[in-house]
Amino acid sequence: SFNSLNHDMTLPEFKFIWYMEYSHRMWGRVVGLAYILPAAYFWRRGCLSRPLKGCVLALCGLVCFQGLLGWYMVKSGLEEKPDSYDIPRVSQYRLAAHLGSALVLYSASLWTGLSLLLPQHKLPETKQLLRLRQYAHGTTALIFLTALSGAFVAGLDAGLVYNSFPKMGERWIPDDLLAFSPVLRNIFENPTTVQFDHRILGIASVTAVTALYLFSRKIPLPRRTRMAVTSLLAVACMQ
C-alpha cells in the first residue's frame, strides 16, 4: 500500500491506523470470549434448555465464523494483484459478507436475549396484525440489503464518486451507470452504480419504515410494540 499510495505517511500516522485495526481485532476476540465462556459455564451448570442449547451453539459458531470471515476479508487487501495499479483495498464482496454476518450475529443475539428477558405478548391473530408482521419482515430484509449495499460503497470507495444529493452531479441518472459489461457487473463493481443503488435502497428503507409506522397506528398494539415502532422511525430519520 505504501508503494502505491500515501508515500508521505509518517510513522505516527501509520501507528494510528494500525492501532485501529489492532483494537478491532482485540475487541472481536473479547466478544468471542464473552459468548463462549459464559455459554460453557451455563451449559455445565445445566441452566440451558434443549432449544436454548441449539441457539447457544449456533451463536458461538457464528462468532467463530465471523472471525474467520474477517481474516479472509483482510487477506484480500494484502494480496498482490498482477496487472493491477489500483489502490490496494479489500474485496468488496468479502467486506459485504463480513458486515452481513455481523448483522446476523447481532440480530440473533438481540432476539435471543429479548426472548429470554421479556415475556411474549399474546395477541389475537387478526388480518391486520399478520399484515403488520409481514410488512415488518419485508422492511427488515430491505434494511439488511441497504446495509450490505453500504459495504459495497465502502469497499469500492464509491462515496467519493458523487457528493451531491438528490442529483448525482448534474443528472438524476448518471451517464456511466451501466458502463461495465456485462450489465450485472455494474451492480457490484461499478462505483457509480453501487452508490446509485445505495441511495435508492436508503430512500426505499426510510419510506418503508414510515409506511410501517403509519400502518401500525391503525392497529391496537401493546405499549412496548408501539415504542419499538416509534423508535424505529426515529432511528431511520436520524440515519
Judge if 128 and 228 occupy the same domain: yes
Mean pLDDT of the chain: 90
* pLDDT-flagged residues of the chain (< 70): 1-5, 80-88
Q: Can the peptide bond before residue 88 be classed as cis, meaning omega within 30 degrees of 0?
A: no
Could you read off the pLDDT of 211-227 as tens digits, one per residue?
A: 999 999 998 888 999 99
Q: What is the pLDDT of residue 212?
A: 96
The parent domain of residue 144 ranges over 119-238
Could you read off the pLDDT of 118-155 as tens digits, one per residue?
A: 877 777 778 888 999 999 999 999 999 999 999 999 99
d(CA 75, CA 78): 5
Helix (H, G, I), strand (E, B) or coil at 168: strand
Judge if 50 and 109 occupy the same domain: yes
Question: Rg (Cα) of the chain, in Å, rounded?
Answer: 22
Judge if 106 and 133 occupy the same domain: no
Judge if 106 and 143 occupy the same domain: no
Helix (H, G, I), strand (E, B) or coil at 3: coil
Q: What is the pLDDT of residue 118?
A: 85
Domain boundary among 70, 88, 117: 117
d(CA 88, CA 85): 8
pTM of the model: 0.85
Judge if 112 and 146 occupy the same domain: no
Q: What is the pLDDT of residue 61?
A: 94
Element containing residue 59 per DSSP (H, E) = helix 50-78
Helix (H, G, I), strand (E, B) or coil at 180: coil
Q: What is the pLDDT of residue 14?
A: 87
Q: What is the pLDDT of residue 119?
A: 78
